[in-house]
Amino acid sequence: MKIINSPLQGCYLIKENVIDDNRGHFLETYNYNYLKEKINVDQFIQENESFSRKKVIRGMHYQQEPYSQNKIIRVLSGKIWDIVIDLRPDSSSYLNSYGVELSQENGEQLFVPSGFAHGFAVISDHARVIYKVNKPYMPNFEKGFSPFDPQFNLNWPFSKQDSILSDKDLNWPLFKKDVR
């Protein structure tokens, strides 16, 4: 595994080391001890999976303390445009965003620290995405805002009109700095 800094404080790309031979390939997708040493991750307690078709946007989501989550995002099949926004007021990258393509082919994962909003758009015909989290999903602590919030000017691959969103994602309000 190789850790690559992103432009946002505490957010990293994780590049897998793929070993190919005549049988296929092998790769280590998660190594707690290595990641604990390199980026001080917590132990993950849950793994979630989503399957979505092209033009689906999921986001922008986060959980409030004490259930704010660290995540590792990985694409098992297909391709997504993944976007995170730093919502930590004390961070040097506060309210900045970062977008990156994650796919089965590029073998990159994204470590998203606690205090970030997260969302993604499916840019292949379909995508299967898994993400590890260090705290459980707690509906009463879930928050979000519109993925098309103009104050962030996020670079989605599809317009709002061409995107497929859940009713919940369509109805999130715009982000307010005082409500995290």
Catalytic annotation on 61?
yes
Distance CA 31, CA 152 (A): 34
Question: Pick the catalytic residue: 12, 25, 61, 137?
Answer: 61
> If you average pLDDT over residues 82-102, what whole number do you get?
97
Q: What is the pLDDT of residue 180?
A: 53
Catalytic annotation on 131?
yes
pLDDT tens for each residue of 111-155: 999 999 999 999 999 999 999 999 999 999 999 999 999 999 999
Position 179 pLDDT exceeds 60 = no
> If you average pLDDT over residues 33-45, what whole number do you get?
92
> If you average pLDDT over residues 68-95, what whole number do you get?
97
- Cβ burial, residue 11 (10 Å; 0-12/13-18/19+): buried
Position 158 pLDDT exceeds 80 = yes
Domains and CATH numbers, the chain: 2-171 (2.60.120.10)
Whether 166 and 92 have beta carbons less than 8 Å apart is answered as no
The beta strands (E) that lie in the chain are given as: 2-5, 12-15, 18-21, 24-27, 46-53, 57-63, 71-77, 79-86, 97-103, 108-112, 116-122, 126-133, 142-144
Question: Pick the catalytic residue: 12, 67, 98, 131?
Answer: 131
> If you average pLDDT over residues 71-99, what whole number do you get?
97
Q: What pTM value is reported for the model?
A: 0.94
Q: What is the pLDDT of residue 3?
A: 96
